[in-house]
A = this chain, B = another copy of it.
Amino acid sequence: MTKATIDDVAELAGVSIKTVSRVVNQEPNVRDSTREKVEKAIAKLNYRPNKAAQTLASLHSRLIVLVYDDPSAYEIPSAGYIIRMQEGALRACRTANYELLIHPCRYRSKDVAKELRTLIEQVRPDGIVLAAPLSNVPRIVNAIENTGTPLIRISPGKRNGKLSAVATNDRQISAEMTRYLASLGHEKIAFITGHPGHKAVGNRFLGYQDGLTQSGLEFSESLVVAGDNSIRSGEACAMELLEREDRPTAIFAANDDMAAGVMRVADRLGIKVPEELSVAGCDDIALAQQVYPALTTINQPLAAMVDEAVLRLIGWNRENKAVEDTTVVPGALKIRESTGPAPT
Protein backbone atom coordinates (compact mmCIF):
# COMPACT_ATOMS: atom_id res chain seq x y z
CA MET A 1 0.00 0.00 0.00
CA THR A 2 1.48 3.30 -1.10
CA LYS A 3 0.87 6.18 1.26
CA ALA A 4 -2.04 8.47 0.64
CA THR A 5 -1.38 12.17 0.15
CA ILE A 6 -3.52 15.18 0.71
CA ASP A 7 -4.47 15.15 -2.95
CA ASP A 8 -5.87 11.65 -2.71
CA VAL A 9 -8.01 12.69 0.22
CA ALA A 10 -9.21 15.82 -1.53
CA GLU A 11 -10.18 13.87 -4.60
CA LEU A 12 -12.02 11.19 -2.68
CA ALA A 13 -13.86 13.74 -0.59
CA GLY A 14 -14.57 15.93 -3.58
CA VAL A 15 -13.06 19.05 -2.07
CA SER A 16 -9.87 21.05 -2.50
CA ILE A 17 -6.66 20.20 -0.73
CA LYS A 18 -6.94 23.40 1.26
CA THR A 19 -10.13 22.16 2.84
CA VAL A 20 -8.47 18.90 3.74
CA SER A 21 -5.65 20.90 5.26
CA ARG A 22 -8.18 22.85 7.30
CA VAL A 23 -9.75 19.72 8.66
CA VAL A 24 -6.40 18.15 9.48
CA ASN A 25 -5.25 21.25 11.31
CA GLN A 26 -8.57 21.77 13.03
CA GLU A 27 -8.97 25.21 11.59
CA PRO A 28 -12.34 26.95 11.69
CA ASN A 29 -14.44 27.85 8.66
CA VAL A 30 -15.36 24.39 7.54
CA ARG A 31 -18.97 23.33 7.36
CA ASP A 32 -19.72 20.35 9.56
CA SER A 33 -20.96 18.29 6.67
CA THR A 34 -17.80 19.01 4.71
CA ARG A 35 -15.64 18.19 7.67
CA GLU A 36 -17.37 14.86 8.02
CA LYS A 37 -16.89 14.01 4.38
CA VAL A 38 -13.21 14.77 4.65
CA GLU A 39 -12.80 12.85 7.85
CA LYS A 40 -14.39 9.85 6.26
CA ALA A 41 -12.00 10.04 3.33
CA ILE A 42 -9.05 10.37 5.70
CA ALA A 43 -10.12 7.30 7.61
CA LYS A 44 -10.79 5.35 4.44
CA LEU A 45 -7.37 6.10 2.98
CA ASN A 46 -5.63 5.92 6.31
CA TYR A 47 -4.14 9.27 5.54
CA ARG A 48 -1.42 10.74 7.74
CA PRO A 49 0.07 14.11 6.90
CA ASN A 50 3.73 13.95 5.95
CA LYS A 51 5.65 15.72 8.64
CA ALA A 52 8.52 16.78 6.45
CA ALA A 53 6.14 18.50 4.07
CA GLN A 54 4.31 20.17 6.92
CA THR A 55 7.54 21.37 8.40
CA LEU A 56 8.87 22.68 5.14
CA ALA A 57 5.71 24.58 4.36
CA SER A 58 4.89 25.85 7.81
CA LEU A 59 8.24 26.22 9.52
CA HIS A 60 6.84 24.14 12.34
CA SER A 61 8.37 20.73 12.94
CA ARG A 62 6.31 19.53 15.91
CA LEU A 63 9.60 18.37 17.29
CA ILE A 64 10.97 19.19 20.72
CA VAL A 65 14.61 18.59 21.58
CA LEU A 66 15.67 17.69 25.08
CA VAL A 67 19.30 18.61 25.64
CA TYR A 68 21.17 17.40 28.69
CA ASP A 69 24.64 16.62 29.85
CA ASP A 70 26.02 13.40 28.46
CA PRO A 71 27.55 11.66 31.46
CA SER A 72 30.99 10.39 30.48
CA ALA A 73 29.69 6.92 31.09
CA TYR A 74 25.99 6.42 31.65
CA GLU A 75 26.55 5.61 35.27
CA ILE A 76 25.01 6.04 38.59
CA PRO A 77 23.07 8.21 39.15
CA SER A 78 22.50 9.90 35.84
CA ALA A 79 20.14 7.29 34.49
CA GLY A 80 17.40 8.12 36.95
CA TYR A 81 17.59 11.84 36.31
CA ILE A 82 17.63 11.47 32.58
CA ILE A 83 14.76 9.04 32.48
CA ARG A 84 12.63 11.28 34.66
CA MET A 85 13.26 14.28 32.47
CA GLN A 86 12.40 12.24 29.42
CA GLU A 87 9.28 11.01 31.13
CA GLY A 88 8.02 14.54 31.66
CA ALA A 89 8.94 15.62 28.16
CA LEU A 90 7.27 12.60 26.60
CA ARG A 91 4.11 13.16 28.58
CA ALA A 92 3.74 16.69 27.30
CA CYS A 93 4.70 15.75 23.75
CA ARG A 94 2.20 12.95 23.66
CA THR A 95 -0.77 15.08 24.56
CA ALA A 96 0.06 17.66 21.91
CA ASN A 97 1.17 15.18 19.24
CA TYR A 98 4.74 16.37 19.23
CA GLU A 99 7.73 14.07 18.96
CA LEU A 100 10.74 14.10 21.22
CA LEU A 101 14.31 14.10 20.06
CA ILE A 102 16.97 13.53 22.69
CA HIS A 103 20.36 15.08 22.45
CA PRO A 104 22.82 14.49 25.27
CA CYS A 105 26.03 16.40 24.80
CA ARG A 106 29.37 16.68 26.50
CA TYR A 107 29.33 19.49 28.96
CA ARG A 108 33.04 20.10 28.75
CA SER A 109 33.46 19.96 24.99
CA LYS A 110 34.34 23.23 23.34
CA ASP A 111 32.07 22.48 20.42
CA VAL A 112 28.80 22.13 22.28
CA ALA A 113 27.51 25.50 21.16
CA LYS A 114 28.34 24.83 17.54
CA GLU A 115 26.96 21.34 17.71
CA LEU A 116 23.67 22.64 19.04
CA ARG A 117 23.47 25.33 16.38
CA THR A 118 23.94 22.75 13.68
CA LEU A 119 21.30 20.55 15.23
CA ILE A 120 18.84 23.41 15.42
CA GLU A 121 19.40 24.65 11.91
CA GLN A 122 19.10 21.20 10.46
CA VAL A 123 16.18 19.90 12.44
CA ARG A 124 14.37 23.19 13.12
CA PRO A 125 12.76 22.02 16.32
CA ASP A 126 9.83 23.98 17.67
CA GLY A 127 11.47 24.25 21.05
CA ILE A 128 14.42 23.27 23.19
CA VAL A 129 14.55 22.17 26.79
CA LEU A 130 17.99 22.71 28.21
CA ALA A 131 18.76 20.91 31.45
CA ALA A 132 21.27 21.84 34.14
CA PRO A 133 24.19 22.11 34.22
CA LEU A 134 24.19 23.09 30.53
CA SER A 135 21.48 25.63 31.28
CA ASN A 136 23.96 27.54 33.39
CA VAL A 137 26.54 28.01 30.66
CA PRO A 138 26.05 31.43 29.04
CA ARG A 139 27.89 30.47 25.87
CA ILE A 140 25.51 27.59 25.26
CA VAL A 141 22.39 29.48 26.24
CA ASN A 142 23.31 32.36 23.98
CA ALA A 143 24.06 30.13 21.04
CA ILE A 144 20.59 28.67 21.23
CA GLU A 145 18.96 32.02 21.84
CA ASN A 146 20.61 33.43 18.74
CA THR A 147 18.92 30.90 16.53
CA GLY A 148 15.59 32.26 17.66
CA THR A 149 14.35 28.85 18.75
CA PRO A 150 12.11 28.91 21.81
CA LEU A 151 14.21 27.83 24.77
CA ILE A 152 13.33 26.91 28.31
CA ARG A 153 15.94 26.09 30.89
CA ILE A 154 15.52 23.58 33.68
CA SER A 155 16.61 24.35 37.21
CA PRO A 156 18.99 27.15 36.40
CA GLY A 157 21.08 28.73 39.07
CA LYS A 158 20.39 32.40 38.79
CA ARG A 159 17.66 34.22 37.01
CA ASN A 160 19.18 35.40 33.79
CA GLY A 161 17.39 38.51 32.64
CA LYS A 162 14.18 37.57 30.92
CA LEU A 163 14.94 34.04 29.86
CA SER A 164 12.30 31.43 30.43
CA ALA A 165 12.97 28.74 32.96
CA VAL A 166 11.39 26.12 35.15
CA ALA A 167 12.83 25.64 38.60
CA THR A 168 11.97 24.01 41.88
CA ASN A 169 12.03 25.36 45.42
CA ASP A 170 15.25 23.66 46.49
CA ARG A 171 16.05 26.13 49.18
CA GLN A 172 12.66 26.21 50.87
CA ILE A 173 12.19 22.47 50.82
CA SER A 174 15.68 21.86 52.16
CA ALA A 175 14.87 24.21 54.99
CA GLU A 176 11.74 22.19 55.60
CA MET A 177 13.75 18.96 55.79
CA THR A 178 16.11 20.56 58.26
CA ARG A 179 13.21 21.75 60.39
CA TYR A 180 11.76 18.25 60.26
CA LEU A 181 15.01 16.79 61.58
CA ALA A 182 15.14 19.43 64.30
CA SER A 183 11.57 18.64 65.23
CA LEU A 184 12.66 15.05 65.89
CA GLY A 185 14.97 16.37 68.55
CA HIS A 186 18.20 16.44 66.58
CA GLU A 187 20.54 19.23 67.54
CA LYS A 188 23.71 18.18 65.79
CA ILE A 189 22.55 18.02 62.19
CA ALA A 190 25.43 17.67 59.76
CA PHE A 191 25.28 18.61 56.09
CA ILE A 192 27.18 17.12 53.17
CA THR A 193 27.47 19.59 50.34
CA GLY A 194 27.44 18.55 46.72
CA HIS A 195 29.31 19.21 43.55
CA PRO A 196 30.09 22.94 43.52
CA GLY A 197 29.23 23.31 39.83
CA HIS A 198 25.63 22.39 40.44
CA LYS A 199 23.67 25.44 41.54
CA ALA A 200 20.60 23.60 42.76
CA VAL A 201 22.82 21.74 45.15
CA GLY A 202 24.15 25.03 46.48
CA ASN A 203 20.61 26.18 47.14
CA ARG A 204 20.12 23.15 49.31
CA PHE A 205 22.97 24.20 51.52
CA LEU A 206 21.39 27.61 51.91
CA GLY A 207 18.11 25.92 52.77
CA TYR A 208 19.86 23.84 55.39
CA GLN A 209 21.16 27.02 57.00
CA ASP A 210 17.72 28.61 56.82
CA GLY A 211 16.22 25.56 58.47
CA LEU A 212 18.69 25.63 61.32
CA THR A 213 17.96 29.27 62.01
CA GLN A 214 14.22 28.72 61.80
CA SER A 215 14.57 25.90 64.33
CA GLY A 216 16.65 27.95 66.72
CA LEU A 217 19.80 25.91 66.09
CA GLU A 218 23.18 27.39 65.52
CA PHE A 219 25.06 26.86 62.29
CA SER A 220 28.49 25.35 62.73
CA GLU A 221 31.17 25.00 60.06
CA SER A 222 32.37 21.85 61.74
CA LEU A 223 29.15 20.09 60.83
CA VAL A 224 29.57 20.77 57.12
CA VAL A 225 31.62 18.45 54.93
CA ALA A 226 32.19 18.76 51.20
CA GLY A 227 31.20 15.93 48.88
CA ASP A 228 30.97 15.78 45.12
CA ASN A 229 27.60 14.06 44.61
CA SER A 230 29.07 10.56 44.31
CA ILE A 231 28.36 7.63 46.60
CA ARG A 232 32.05 7.35 47.27
CA SER A 233 32.31 10.92 48.44
CA GLY A 234 29.31 10.31 50.69
CA GLU A 235 31.23 7.48 52.27
CA ALA A 236 34.31 9.61 52.79
CA CYS A 237 32.30 12.43 54.36
CA ALA A 238 30.47 9.99 56.59
CA MET A 239 33.74 8.55 57.83
CA GLU A 240 34.90 11.99 58.72
CA LEU A 241 31.68 12.82 60.56
CA LEU A 242 31.01 9.54 62.29
CA GLU A 243 34.43 8.77 63.69
CA ARG A 244 34.35 11.85 65.85
CA GLU A 245 33.79 11.56 69.55
CA ASP A 246 30.98 14.05 69.40
CA ARG A 247 29.37 12.77 66.26
CA PRO A 248 26.18 14.23 64.76
CA THR A 249 22.86 12.45 65.31
CA ALA A 250 21.55 13.37 61.89
CA ILE A 251 23.18 13.77 58.50
CA PHE A 252 21.48 15.59 55.65
CA ALA A 253 23.18 15.05 52.30
CA ALA A 254 22.69 17.25 49.27
CA ASN A 255 21.78 14.23 47.18
CA ASP A 256 20.63 10.65 47.57
CA ASP A 257 23.82 9.03 46.39
CA MET A 258 25.86 10.64 49.08
CA ALA A 259 23.16 9.75 51.61
CA ALA A 260 23.41 6.15 50.45
CA GLY A 261 27.16 6.35 51.02
CA VAL A 262 26.49 7.56 54.55
CA MET A 263 24.22 4.62 55.25
CA ARG A 264 26.77 2.19 53.95
CA VAL A 265 29.42 3.58 56.28
CA ALA A 266 27.04 3.63 59.23
CA ASP A 267 26.37 -0.04 58.57
CA ARG A 268 30.07 -0.82 58.53
CA LEU A 269 30.66 1.10 61.73
CA GLY A 270 27.79 -0.66 63.42
CA ILE A 271 25.78 2.52 63.85
CA LYS A 272 22.07 1.78 63.62
CA VAL A 273 19.90 3.84 61.29
CA PRO A 274 17.58 5.44 62.31
CA GLU A 275 17.92 4.54 66.01
CA GLU A 276 21.38 6.05 66.44
CA LEU A 277 21.64 8.13 63.32
CA SER A 278 19.09 9.77 61.05
CA VAL A 279 20.00 10.09 57.39
CA ALA A 280 18.25 12.25 54.81
CA GLY A 281 18.94 12.76 51.14
CA CYS A 282 17.75 14.79 48.21
CA ASP A 283 16.22 13.93 44.81
CA ASP A 284 14.27 10.77 45.55
CA ILE A 285 16.02 8.65 42.98
CA ALA A 286 15.19 4.97 42.68
CA LEU A 287 18.10 4.10 44.92
CA ALA A 288 16.35 5.84 47.80
CA GLN A 289 13.83 3.02 47.94
CA GLN A 290 16.38 0.32 47.29
CA VAL A 291 18.59 0.96 50.28
CA TYR A 292 17.74 -0.48 53.65
CA PRO A 293 16.27 1.19 55.56
CA ALA A 294 14.51 3.19 52.85
CA LEU A 295 15.84 6.70 52.63
CA THR A 296 13.99 9.80 53.77
CA THR A 297 14.50 12.34 51.03
CA ILE A 298 13.16 15.26 49.04
CA ASN A 299 11.24 14.45 45.93
CA GLN A 300 12.59 16.61 43.17
CA PRO A 301 9.78 16.94 40.65
CA LEU A 302 11.99 16.62 37.60
CA ALA A 303 9.39 14.98 35.41
CA ALA A 304 6.82 17.61 36.30
CA MET A 305 9.34 20.37 35.63
CA VAL A 306 10.17 19.16 32.16
CA ASP A 307 6.52 18.45 31.45
CA GLU A 308 5.77 22.05 32.34
CA ALA A 309 8.68 23.27 30.23
CA VAL A 310 7.52 21.41 27.13
CA LEU A 311 3.94 22.54 27.58
CA ARG A 312 5.16 26.10 27.73
CA LEU A 313 7.21 25.62 24.59
CA ILE A 314 4.20 24.27 22.76
CA GLY A 315 2.09 27.15 23.98
CA TRP A 316 4.86 29.50 22.90
CA ASN A 317 4.53 28.16 19.38
CA ARG A 318 0.78 28.51 19.37
CA GLU A 319 0.69 32.01 20.80
CA ASN A 320 3.87 32.90 19.01
CA LYS A 321 5.26 34.64 22.01
CA ALA A 322 7.20 33.56 25.05
CA VAL A 323 6.12 33.78 28.66
CA GLU A 324 9.33 35.08 29.95
CA ASP A 325 9.58 34.11 33.52
CA THR A 326 10.48 31.31 35.85
CA THR A 327 7.87 28.77 36.83
CA VAL A 328 8.43 27.03 40.13
CA VAL A 329 7.31 23.43 40.57
CA PRO A 330 7.48 22.60 44.26
CA GLY A 331 9.24 19.52 45.64
CA ALA A 332 7.96 17.44 48.54
CA LEU A 333 9.36 15.71 51.61
CA LYS A 334 9.37 11.92 51.41
CA ILE A 335 9.55 10.65 54.95
CA ARG A 336 10.69 7.02 54.91
CA GLU A 337 12.57 4.85 57.38
CA SER A 338 16.02 6.38 57.65
CA THR A 339 15.01 9.19 59.97
CA GLY A 340 13.69 9.00 63.49
CA PRO A 341 13.78 10.63 66.92
CA ALA A 342 17.19 11.72 68.12
CA PRO A 343 18.85 9.23 70.51
CA THR A 344 18.57 10.31 74.12
Contacts and interface: CB of A to CB of B under 8 A. Distances in A.
Given A78-B83, A83-B78, A290 B260 contact: yes
A75 B3 CA distance: 38
Interface string A1-45: 101000000000000000000000000000000000000000000
A52 B48 contact: no
A48 B286 CA distance: 41
Contact of A76 (B77, B104, B286): B286
A52 B287 CA distance: 42
A122 B49 contact: yes
Contacts of A123: 51, 99
A100 B102 CA distance: 6
Interface in A253-285: 260, 264, 267
Interface stretch (A84-92, A130-138, A153-161, A213-221): A84-92
A201 interface: no
A109 to B, nearest CB: 12
A55 B123 CA distance: 11
Contact of A56 (B56, B86, B104, B146): B56
Given A56-B52, A231-B290, A260-B290, A74 B84 contact: yes
A122 B48 contact: yes
A143 B322 CA distance: 40
Contacts of A178: none
A285 to B, nearest CB: 9
Contacts of A287: 287, 290
Nearest to A66: B102
Interface in A287-329: 287, 289-290, 292, 303
Contacts of A103: 99
Contacts of A76: 286, 289-290
Contacts of A87: 74
A124 interface: yes
Contacts of A146: 1
A101 B104 contact: no
A102 B91 CA distance: 12
A79 interface: yes
Contact of A79 (B1, B55, B80, B99): B80
Nearest to A87: B74
A286 B289 CA distance: 15
A246 interface: no
Q: Which 10 A-B pairs have the closest CB atoms?
A: A52-B55, A48-B121, A79-B83, A52-B56, A76-B286, A79-B79, A51-B122, A52-B52, A74-B87, A74-B83
25 contacts: A48-B121, A49-B122, A50-B56, A50-B122, A50-B124, A51-B52, A51-B123, A51-B124, A52-B56, A52-B124, A74-B84, A75-B286, A76-B286, A77-B286, A78-B83, A79-B286, A90-B102, A99-B103, A99-B119, A99-B123, A100-B101, A100-B102, A264-B292, A287-B287, A287-B290
